Structure 1
Amino acid sequence: MSGAGYDVVVDVDEEGDLGHTDLQEDLEFHSSNFNTDASTSSRKLPGSSPGLPPPATTGSGSSKRFLWTLSFYAQFFDVDTSSVLARCWAALYPRANFLDVLEGNPDLYGPIWIATTVVFILFLGGTISKYLAETGQGHFVYDFRLLSGAAGLIYGYTLVIPIVLFLALKYFGSESANLLECWALYGYSNLIWIPVALISWSPISILNYVFVGVGFGLSVAFLLRNLYPVLSATDKQTSKILLILVVVFHAFLAIFIKVLFFAPARKTTEDPTPVKDGESTRLFMF
Structure 2
Amino acid sequence: MYEPQVIKPKLPVDPQKSHMFQLHFYRRFFDLDTETFFRKIQQALNPFNGAQAVDDELDASDSELYGFIWITGTLIFLVFVSSTGSNLLAEWLHPTKKSQKYEYSFDLLTLSISLFYGYNVVVPALFWGFTTWFLKFPQPTSLIRVISIYGYTNILWVPITVLNLLIVLIVNNKKHHLLLNLLEWLVVLFSGLVTGLSNITKLRPIVQKNCLLLHEGDADASTKQAWAIIAGLAVAHAGFVLLVKISFFGITA
How high is the TM-score relative to the length of structure 2?
0.76
With over 3 angstroms needed to count, the CA separation of the structure-2 counterparts of 1:157 and 1:95, relative to structure 1, is closer
Provide the residue aligned with 2:116 in structure 1. Answer: 154
With over 3 angstroms needed to count, the CA separation of the structure-2 counterparts of 1:213 and 1:103, relative to structure 1, is same
Gaps of 5+ in 2: 1-8, 169-179, 212-221
Structure 1 or 2, whichever has the larger Rg, is: 1
Q: Measure, in 2, the Cα distance between the counterparts of 1:62 and 1:263.
A: 46
Q: CA offsets per residue over residues 70-129 of structure 1, 9 Å max, x none?
A: 111000011012211111111103545112273432211011011101111110111122
Alpha-carbon deviation of 1:246? 0.6
Gaps of 5+ in 1: 1-54, 267-286
- 2:116 equivalent to 1:173: no
Alpha-carbon deviation of 1:143? 1.7
Q: Measure, in 1, the Cα distance between the counterparts of 2:112 and 2:16.
A: 39
Q: CA offsets per residue over residues 146-186 of structure 1, 9 Å max, x none?
A: 11111110000011111000011111021232111101111
Provide the residue aligned with 1:37 in structure 2. Answer: none
Q: Measure, in 2, the Cα distance between the counterparts of 1:63 and 1:95.
A: 31
- The answer to whether the 8 A contact 2:36-2:61 is kept is no
- The answer to whether the 8 A contact 1:189-1:219 is kept is yes
Q: Measure, in 2, the Cα distance between the counterparts of 1:63 and 1:56.
A: 17
Alpha-carbon deviation of 1:244? 0.7
3-state SS in 2 of match to 1:173: coil
The one of 67, 80, 102 aligned to 2:20: 67
3-state SS in 2 of match to 1:226: helix
The one of 142, 148, 151 aligned to 1:184: 148
- 2:59 equivalent to 1:97: no
Instruction: Please identify, of 159-168 and 121-130, the stretch whose mean Cα deviation from structure 2 is larger.
Output: 121-130
Greater RCO (Cα-Cα under 8 Å, separation 6 or more): 2
- Backbone CA RMSD of aligned residues: 2.4
Bigger fraction of residues in helix: 2
Q: CA offsets per residue over residues 8-52 of structure 1, 9 Å max, x none?
A: xxxxxxxxxxxxxxxxxxxxxxxxxxxxxxxxxxxxxxxxxxxxx
The one of 223, 241, 245 aligned to 1:254: 241
Q: CA offsets per residue over residues 206-263 of structure 1, 9 Å max, x none?
A: 1111211221121111112111111121243332221111111111111111111111
How high is the TM-score relative to the length of structure 1?
0.68
Q: Measure, in 2, the Cα distance between the counterparts of 1:62 and 1:208.
A: 46
- 2:67 equivalent to 1:113: no
With over 3 angstroms needed to count, the CA separation of the structure-2 counterparts of 1:241 and 1:58, relative to structure 1, is closer
Instruction: Please identify, of 168-177 and 88-97, the stretch whose mean Cα deviation from structure 2 is larger.
Output: 88-97
- The answer to whether the 8 A contact 2:15-2:27 is kept is no
Q: Measure, in 2, the Cα distance between the counterparts of 1:72 and 1:228.
A: 30
Alpha-carbon deviation of 1:69? 1.0
With over 3 angstroms needed to count, the CA separation of the structure-2 counterparts of 1:189 and 1:134, relative to structure 1, is same
Provide the residue aligned with 2:104 in structure 1. Answer: 142
Identity over aligned pairs, percent = 26
Q: Measure, in 2, the Cα distance between the counterparts of 1:62 and 1:179.
A: 17
- The answer to whether the 8 A contact 2:87-2:102 is kept is no
Map residues 1-286 of structure 1 onto 2, 5 A cutoff.
64-93=17-46, 95-99=49-53, 100=55, 102-106=58-62, 107-135=64-92, 136=95, 137-170=99-132, 171-174=134-137, 175-201=139-165, 202-203=167-168, 204-232=180-208, 233-234=210-211, 235-266=222-253
Q: Measure, in 2, the Cα distance between the counterparts of 1:92 and 1:58.
A: 36
